[in-house]
Amino acid sequence: MDCIRKSNDIREKLILALDVDDIAMAYSIIEKLAPHIKFYKVGLQMITKDGPRMVMTLKRKGLKIFYDAKFFDIPQTVFNACYEATRLGVNMINVHSLGGAKMIGYAKDAIEKASDKLQIEKPLLLAVTILTSMDNRDLKENLKCNYDIKKMVLFLAKNAIKAGADGIICSPNELKLLRKELGDEITIVTPGIRTGKIKKDDQKRVLTPKEAIKDGADYIIVGRPVLQAENKLDVIENIFNEIKAGLQCRKKK
């Protein structure tokens, strides 16, 4: 596994999810928040609407991009998709860990080949474990799995890292376990972040920014708490303060 590149810039530890259904709104958000937030998630909705152009817009502004496509297909198809995503110049690409070791290995190979050919920095390959919208009941009913969430997340995470993934995407609830079992070198990106009095929406396994950073997240993904706020800059500033507090708590351990 390559040396993991973790940013120490507080403004890069917050990844804003551009999960909106209006292209003009997305570009307006980028224009207004680019001086404050340096990392953005381009997810399935935005990828389908305007993916490559959105990536190019973010790159022209010197911003970082998490290409959240959650590739999950036969190995060669995932190879091809990761190769093209790498050519876009993004900073993070993810696949679903349930695709297995061979698929993850193909994804890693594609990233390396595309990066070497274009002489660009390799994006981190992240593996999604269990979606934050799922709980133990969902796992049992939908996957007929006898593992609980934490045991399954750890199992998938270990397999993904062994297969070549640079990091893991997991809910905040599994952070302590993964840090204990996988160590500090692995990059962990955490969605399911809520602020203030936590409103879960369709997320079932959530924490605050401070708690997630304290428990070991390198990056937190935030969407609705910022996007739906009347004063977005106040919410962003509060999140940055929570990130700082979480890092201070982690240093004291």
Decide if 124 contacts 187 (C-beta within 8 A). yes
Who's near 116: CB < 8 A, 6+ residues apart? none
Topology of the domain covering 10-252:
TIM Barrel (3.20.20)
Residue in 13, 70, 150, 232 annotated catalytic: 70
- Active site annotation includes 102: no
Q: Which residue has the tokens 């977005």?
A: 232
- Decide: 169 and 146 in contact? Cβ < 8 Å: no
Q: What is the spatial distance between Cα 64 and Cα 33, in angstroms, rounded to a whole number?
A: 13
pLDDT tens for the chain, 253 residues long, are 444 466 678 888 999 999 998 999 999 999 999 999 999 999 999 999 999 999 999 999 999 999 999 999 999 999 999 999 999 999 999 999 999 999 999 999 999 999 999 999 999 999 999 887 888 888 888 888 888 899 999 999 999 999 999 999 998 899 999 999 999 999 999 998 877 654 545 455 568 999 999 999 999 999 989 998 999 999 999 999 999 999 998 877 6
Q: Decide if 72 contacts 96 (C-beta within 8 A).
A: yes
Return the domain boundaries, the chain.
10-252
The number of beta carbons lying within 10 Å of the beta carbon of residue 21 is: 9
